[in-house]
Amino acid sequence: MIATPNLINKVVSGITTWARVNSPWIIHFNSGSCNGCDIEILATLTPYYDIERFGIKLKGSPRHADVLICTGPVTRQARSRLLRIYEQMPEPKFVVAVGSCGISGGTFAGCYNIVGHIDEVLPVDAYIPGCPPRPEAIIDGVVKLLTHLKNGTRPEPIKPQLGEQA
């Protein structure tokens, strides 16, 4: 009898994890990228790559989304917007940083107008390197995130190696 609630909890959490892994809805935010990464993300959403196979859907409203896909370094102006969008998303939520700029500031590192890379503002769950990453790489990154969710672990946070300027 004592084990029953545990069992129910296990089954329920198994079902919700299954649902979560199979239906990640994404929202895309550009916090100061050069637009190269955004074009690649849009290419990923085209019928050619068909990410609806994995249940991924692009949503316009942060209230509907599960995964926030960020591109670019965070500029001083975009910082508050990025945070606001993140806070508008319902729990559980995940962040994917796309592109070298999102990981380390990339080509913009050390500029006067940027706060830094995305990790300095939000807790990032997955990084997709590349300048810009190919659509295949983006899909691979999202699938990696989903695999980690399935196993109940968060992806290892990789602390980006920064140069002296940052």
Partner 1 sequence: METVLAITSIMFFPAGISLILGGMLYEWADRKLVARFQNRIGPRWFQPLADTIKLISKEEIQPLGVNRALFFGLPVVALAGALTAALYVPIFGLQPAHSFPGDLIVTLYLLSLLTMCTGLAGWNSDSRFSIVGATRTLTQLFAYEAPFLLALLGPAMAADSWQISKIVAYTETHWMIVLQPVGFVIALIGLMGKLELPPFDAPEAETEIVAGALTEYSGRGLALFHIGKSVEMVVGVTLVTAFYLGGLGNPLIFLAKTLGLLLVMAFLQSVLVRLRIDQTVGMWWRAGAILALLQILALIVLK
- Give the footprint of partner 1 on this chain (CB under 8 A): 15-16, 18-20, 22-23, 25, 47, 50, 52-53, 55, 58-61, 63-64, 66, 88, 90-92
CB 74 within 8 A of CB 111: no
The b-or-e profile of 84-108 (16+ CB within 10 A means b, else e) is ebbeebeeebbbbbbbbbbbbbbeb
By CB under 6 A, residue 132 contacts ligand SF4: yes
3-state secondary structure of 106: helix
8 or 39: whose CB is closer to ligand SF4?
39
| DSSP-derived 3-state class of residue 164 | coil
Q: How far apart are CA 160 and CA 166, in angstroms?
A: 11
- Judge contact between 138 and 108, C-beta under 8 A: no
- Using CB under 6 A as the binding rule, whether residue 33 contacts ligand SF4 is answered as yes
* Partner interacting with residue 16 (select from partner 1, ligand SF4, none; CB below 5-8 Å by kind): partner 1
The binder of 50, among partner 1, ligand SF4, none, by C-beta within 5 to 8 A per type, is partner 1
Binder of ligand SF4 out of 29, 45, 51, 72 (CB under 6 A): 72
Strand partners of residue 28: 69
Site for ligand SF4 in 85-114 (CB under 6 A): 99-101, 106-107
CB of 129 to ligand SF4, least distance (A): 8
CA distance linking residue 72 with residue 62, whole number of Å: 19
Span interacting with ligand SF4, options 15-23, 31-39, 115-123, 158-166, rule CB under 6 A: 31-39
The residues binding ligand SF4 (CB under 6 A) are 33-34, 36-37, 71-72, 99-101, 106-107, 131-132
